[in-house]
Amino acid sequence: MTKRSFSSLSSAERSDRQVCSGRGRGTLPRRVLAEAPRVYPLPNEGDFTVKRVLAFVLGLGALGLAPLAGAELKIAVVDVQAAIGQTQEAQTFLEKVQESLEADLERIRELTAQRAEIEEKVQRDAEVMGEEERTRLSEDYERITSDLQYRTETYQKAVNRRRNELFQKMGPGVQAALDDLVKLEAYDLVLPRNTVIYVNPKHDITRKVTEVLDKQS
């Protein structure tokens, strides 16, 4: 590539080269400035209060709660699935599900043990094992693995189906429990736990919802 002399460069290129060589005005080349993101300064730490942040967000209408912008909100989070799963009703229900599927689960255990035995034998006797035995074990391993995968998927689908039935059954109770807690504790906003990156545990009302659900049953 032919190196161009400084005098043959355009005024913009000269300015850029001066900056890169330390002879410019101490600013970035214009093409870099054009690509650089705009940075806005953060407010002073003393101004960065929860009330002002919430007021700013609410002022934009992000949460649709503009009338509350002038006051601090009482916020809580809840893990609905965990709240249901920890109830006595759910524990009893899932125990019955497991009992009804115990035969399937036992067969899964047996297949898992058989596959492990083949793996151990191949590793232990690899050097003295004949080709015929190696082929037979390989075929057995593939058959057992295929059967195990099918039975495991079938078992999991059955458990998930029954769990979903439980959640649908208890859904109205969860809503009622949340309504009671909102009125009792005067919460302004309740968010799903999985939508929040971090929350102080004291704002998590999952256990409270479980307790209300247990009282309902």
SS (H, E, C) 105-148: HHHHHHHHHHHHHHHHHHHHHCCCCCHHHHHHHHHHHHHHHHHH
Convert the pLDDT of each residue in 160-211 to its tens digit: 999 999 999 999 999 999 999 999 999 999 999 989 899 899 999 999 999 9
98, 105 contact by CB (below 8 A): yes
Beta pairing partners, 75: 189
Segments forming the whole domain that contains residue 26 = 10-40
32, part of any domain = yes
**Number of separate domains in the chain:** 3
179, part of any domain = yes
Which residue reads 């300015």 in tokens?
A: 15
2, part of any domain = no
Confidence of residue 72 (pLDDT cuts 50, 70, 90): confident
184, part of any domain = yes
Q: Verify that 57 and 136 share a domain, yes or no.
A: no
Q: Where are the alpha helices (DSSP H) in the chain?
A: 11-20, 30-35, 50-59, 80-85, 88-100, 102-125, 131-185, 206-216
Average pLDDT over residues 98-117: 95
208, 183 contact by CB (below 8 A): no
CB-CB neighbours of 126 under 10 Å? 9
Task: Say whether pLDDT at 28 is over 80.
Answer: no
Q: Verify that 51 and 135 share a domain, yes or no.
A: no
- Global pTM exceeds 0.85: no
5, part of any domain = no
Task: Say whether pLDDT at 58 is over 60.
Answer: no
CB-CB neighbours of 63 under 10 Å? 15
Nearest 5°: phi and psi at 25?
-90, 5
Q: Verify that 200 and 100 share a domain, yes or no.
A: yes
CB-CB neighbours of 90 under 10 Å? 22
Nearest 5°: phi and psi at 197?
-70, -45
Average pLDDT over residues 65-69: 48
Q: What is the pLDDT of residue 161?
A: 93
Query: How many Å apart are CA 176 and CA 46, to the nearest integer?
Result: 40
Confidence of residue 71 (pLDDT cuts 50, 70, 90): low
For the chain, percent of residues with pLDDT exceeding 70: 67
Q: Verify that 28 and 132 share a domain, yes or no.
A: no
Q: Which two tokens stand for residue 89?
A: 């009703």
Higher local confidence (pLDDT), 16 or 121: 121
Convert the pLDDT of each residue in 115-149 to its tens digit: 999 999 999 998 888 999 999 999 999 999 999 99
Higher local confidence (pLDDT), 217 or 34: 217
